[in-house]
Amino acid sequence: MVRSRWTASASKIFPRYFATKTKWTCSWNTQCLPCRISLDNSIDQVCTGFAAMSRKTFKYRLYPTRQQRERLQTTLDVCRELYNASLQERREGYKNCRAMLNYYTQANQLPAIKVLRPDVAALHSQVLQDVLKRIDKAFQAFFRRVQQGQKPGFPRFQGRHRYDSFTYPQTGFDLGPQLQLSKIGNVKIKLHRQLLGEVKTLTIKRENGNWYACFSCVVEPEPLPVLDNSTGIDVGLETFATLSNGKKIPNPRWYRAEQKRLRRAQRKVARRTNKQSNRRRKAVAILAQVHRDIFNQRNDFQHKESLKIIQQYQTIFVEDLRSKGLSRGILAKSVHDASWASFLDKISYKAENAGRKFIKVDPRGTSQRCPCGAANRKKLSDREHVCAACGLVTSRDHAAALEIQRLGRSLQASTILEIECVA
């Protein structure tokens, strides 16, 4: 059973009974709906509301001087070189003598490398070690996927524009009025919000020529007062999302305007076919900035909307998008796909931190059934939901949200029943 990222990191006290029973069989033989749905995914993702420490990243803009900028860039270049070299060593070690190198064999060579290369010696030692840890992680992920029978990609050599960050895993930095970085200097930082929790690592990141400091902190959960309600959320194409009380979250106003800007920037790049030219390089930078703007706006919008949902509802039911198969077919517009998934991710981690419940349900048939249980066949073009059995007339998305809520509630009821049976 694959646990989602946030449950895996959530806590060691994650109750075992949620994970042990994976197949639900109806003890009363009523063949009720939840019994026919495999609980493999859903039960595992029940957010239990237990207090657990969680990791949060705080990101701040840096304003380095020209010299500091150069030093940051040099650090990145050296790190990238080390990354590529250690990757090559692993590849050739295996090719030539079937030797499996690990982190320690490579890290033990660092002192010798430093003697030969003063530019490597000029970097903070733990930053260098972290580069080798990244390579190790890439290989472990590769072998894990091989073992699971997936088709993994082999770890790649990183080009100049691909390698964008380096990490201080423990020491080498200090935050005062300025950010003190070992071997780089005191860098001006804009602390636009308070840093919370205990700082564990610091990653310095380059994005579109700007530099950022990302502090990964362990933070205490901030539980909200317990409520006695729930909601189902249907994500859709017409509106961004629909709640089961009929409330619609519309697609934001900026969306169309930004799409237009994006198209123009893309055309500009496409017209400038000489890959070496300065004019093309500038056009690419503009395109990257448009993408960044869209990302920022969307991120901000999603943070605000997910926070509202968390504040209003105790239990939140959503569709499990993994099995919806949106990545194929006519609706495969990556924009939609990505933004839904990240929206649900945000709800998920906020729910965990606030002691709310976040439950994913099987999305199959949620738009083809009435919340009363009767089948209700609809084509994608049918935007209205009209049920002959119970007389419910509403929009398609609202009916789906109601059905998601109903499914979720029945799942929840069966889970509680199960725990009682086991106990």
**Which positions are annotated as active-site residues?**
234, 319, 397
Give the total of residues touching Zn ion (CB under 5 A).
7
Cβ nearer to Zn ion, comparing 155 with 371: 371
Binding to Zn ion (CB under 5 A) within 167-196 occurs at: none
26 touching Zn ion, by CB under 5 A? no
387 touching Zn ion, by CB under 5 A? yes
Cβ nearer to Zn ion, comparing 56 with 409: 409
Q: Which residues of 313-392 form beta strands (DSSP E)?
A: 315-319, 357-361, 384-386
Q: Mask 392-411, x = binds Zn ion (CB under 5 A)?
A: x-------------------
Cβ nearer to Zn ion, comparing 45 with 395: 395
Nearest distance from C-beta of residue 38 to Zn ion, angstroms:
25
Q: Which residues of 157-256 form beta strands (DSSP E)?
A: 165-168, 173-175, 179-181, 185-190, 198-207, 210-219, 230-235, 241-243, 248-249
- Please identify, among the stretches 263-271, 289-297, 337-345, 389-397, the one whose residues bind Zn ion according to the rule CB under 5 A: 389-397
Nearest distance from C-beta of residue 399 to Zn ion, angstroms:
9
Cβ nearer to Zn ion, comparing 332 with 374: 374
Nearest distance from C-beta of residue 281 to Zn ion, angstroms:
59
- Please identify, among the stretches 155-163, 322-330, 356-364, 387-395, the one whose residues bind Zn ion according to the rule CB under 5 A: 387-395
Q: Mask 333-372, x = binds Zn ion (CB under 5 A)?
A: -------------------------------------x-x
CA dist 163 and 81 (Å) reads 10
Torsion of CA 166, 170, 172, 176, to 10 degrees: 100
User: From the list 32, 386, 389, 416, which residue makes contact with Zn ion (rule: CB under 5 A)?
Assistant: 389
Nearest distance from C-beta of residue 247 to Zn ion, angstroms:
21
Cβ nearer to Zn ion, comparing 136 with 403: 403
Q: How buried is 289 (Cβ within 10 angstroms: 0-12 exposed, 13-18 middle, 19+ buried)?
A: middle
Nearest distance from C-beta of residue 47 to Zn ion, angstroms:
30
CA dist 87 and 135 (Å) reads 7
CA dist 201 and 39 (Å) reads 37
- Own/partner contacts of 302-307, CB < 8 Å, gap of 24 or more, are 302/339, 302/342, 302/343, 302/346, 303/346, 305/240, 305/241, 305/249, 305/343, 306/343, 306/346, 306/347, 306/350, 307/350
Cβ(378)–Cβ(385) below 8 Å: yes
Rama region for 375: left / alpha / beta (φ>0; ψ in -120 to 50; rest): beta
Nearest distance from C-beta of residue 377 to Zn ion, angstroms:
13
> Residues in the site for Zn ion, rule: CB under 5 A?
370, 372, 374, 387, 389-390, 392
